[in-house]
Amino acid sequence: MSTQVSHPDGSKIVRPFEVTNRLMLSITIPVMLASLTTPLLGLVDTAVIGQLGDPHLLGGLAIGALVFDFLFSTMNFLRAGTTGLVAQAMGRHDNVEQQAVFWRAIGIAVLVGLVFIAVTPLVLTATVRFMNPDQAVADAMSTYVSIRLFSSPMALGNFVVLGLLLGQGKAMQGLYLQFLLNGVNVVMTCWLGLVMGWGVAGIAWGTVLGESVALVVGLTMVYWQFRAVPNPSLARILDMPAIRRMFAVNRDIMLRSFFLLIAYAYFTRAGTEAGAVTLATNAVLMNFLLISGYLIDGVTTAAEQISGRAVGAHYRPAFDRGIKLSFLWGLVLASLMALFFLIYGNAIVAVLIKSADVQAMAALYMPWAALAPVTGLLAFHMDGVFIGATWSRDMRNMMMLSLAGYFAAYFILPQFMGNHGLWLALHLFLGLRGLSLLAILPRRARLQFAS
């Protein structure tokens, strides 16, 4: 139950709501389970190719996955921006604006997806020139990317559907959709990649089928939800101030994501320059970092939804408590993951990869990958708070600052420490991201909730 309290001057309306551990976990657990299935796809893809025993195919898959990190993760603002804006509309009790946000985002998703398909040859050429892989790796990458780009409109549409559900706090529905998407993906990847013997092409087509099925089901769910409440007019959807705000938020989140992926791209590129074994090793270990990020994403999403709702409701106590509870739960998760990877990480690599050289090198660098959840926790957590509050410009600026620090370490440390220096540079980057956002949080909150 919530109440509405007007300030004496009538300029603000406060809509109190309670933030509890139950509310936090009702969002965190479903999102965590759903998110866990995504990096498991990477592990399944790696295992399918790993059974073929060719590091070149694994390298091609790693570079191909990086391409989609750039293309799709850069467009993650369609999920994150939608979540923040919908959560704020929910805090204001504005059901019509929630729908308007959804339709604006869907329009962007379709247009951008079609553009991605059209520029496939340019994407392949740019990737080969930047990564400079050997021919066998380049061929595997080209096959994977060419097929997967067909799913661009569906993948981006799924971002928007998920953003709407998470912004409304309907994490269980988001969980069902992600299970469906990734379940179809895993089954078809194994069947097409191994049983049918399609290899890299089978992995790519499995992803296309998963994205397509999930979007059809997701849009059906949204349709039935929208039938029960008033719909926005076309004029409301095309409201220019709202569109400009969405583009401003999305632009900054996109740039932030782009800068983040630049850091990961240079990390992968350094492995490419060091040889196929180092490239494969770092690619496998990066899956542990991605698993950590996706698991903590449950807490991050809870921070997004609660902070966004608190901003919309103009209710500072909920904002502060949401930050504290989400960080504490994140710390528990990050510590457990680090311990699990330290104990079982090498055994997991041995199951996934047949190459003895990759297994030996992975054991050497496993502590870096295992401790990444703890190092990156504050960055992941602050991302959720700032996305929910739509303080996207601050995220962009602090990411640029952190990237500058990363490159300073990237070009210096490996000269003295080799691949250990590369991993240390990555840890420094994660730490800088979290600390820089934390430093500006108090001032931004005071300005946001000023009477």
pLDDT at 51: 65
**Residue-level pLDDT at 442:** 94
Specify which of 52-56, 86-90, 332-336 reaches the highest per-range mean pLDDT.
332-336
> With 60 as the cut, is the pLDDT of residue 4 above it?
no
Q: What is the mean pLDDT of residues 408-424?
A: 90
* Beta carbons of 57 and 133 less than 8 angstroms apart: no
Q: What is the mean pLDDT of residues 351-367?
A: 83
Q: What is the mean pLDDT of residues 301-309?
A: 89
Mean pLDDT for 401-430 is 92
Closest by alpha carbon to 120, among 100, 146, 94? 146
d(CA 44, CA 331): 27
Q: What is the pLDDT of residue 89?
A: 86
Helices and strands: H and E segment counts in the chain: 17, 2
- Give the Å distances, CA to CA, from 393 to 111, 131, 400: 24, 30, 11
Mean pLDDT, the chain, as a whole number?
Answer: 83
Best CA proximity match to 289, nearest among 196, 223, 380, 356: 380
Cα atoms in the 13 Å half-sphere on the side-chain side of 364:
14
Residue 39 pLDDT exceeds 80: no
* Mean pLDDT of the 390-402 span: 92
Please give the pLDDT value at position 9.
40
pLDDT at 5 over 70: no
Predicted pLDDT at 38: 62
Read off φ and ψ for residue 277, nearest 5 degrees. -70, -45
- Candidate from 164-173, 244-253, 383-392, 427-436 with smallest mean pLDDT: 244-253
Residue 37 banded pLDDT, cuts 50, 70, 90: low
Residue 261: pLDDT above 90?
no
Best-predicted range by mean pLDDT (64-73, 279-288, 388-397, 434-443):
434-443
In tens, the pLDDT along 205-216 reads: 888 888 899 999
Q: Is pLDDT of 22 > 70?
A: yes
Mean pLDDT along residues 63-84: 78
Percentage with pLDDT > 70 across the chain: 91
Q: Residue 8 above 50 pLDDT?
A: no
Evaluate whether 69 touches 42 at the Cβ level (below 8 Å).
no
- What pLDDT sits at residue 52? 60
Cα 100 to Cα 62, 231, 447, distances in angstroms: 38, 8, 27
Who's near 413: CB < 8 A, 6+ residues apart? Answer: 421, 422, 424, 425
Rounded mean pLDDT, 158-162? 91
Strand pairing of 5-6 and 13-14? antiparallel
What value does the mean pLDDT take over residues 37-61?
66
Question: Which among 225, 246, 197 has a CA at the least distance from the CA of 392?
Answer: 246
Residue 1 has pLDDT above 50, yes or no: no
Q: How far is CA 226 from the centre of its chain?
A: 26
pLDDT > 90 fraction of the chain, expressed in percent and rounded: 27
More confident residue, 119 or 197: 119
Q: How many degrees, rounded to 5, is the angle at CA 387 between CA 183 and CA 391?
A: 165
The answer to whether residue 217 scores a pLDDT higher than 90 is yes
Question: What is the arithmetic mean of pLDDT over 52-74?
Answer: 72
Q: Are 342 and 259 in contact (CB under 8 A)?
A: no
User: Three-class SS of residue 71?
Assistant: helix
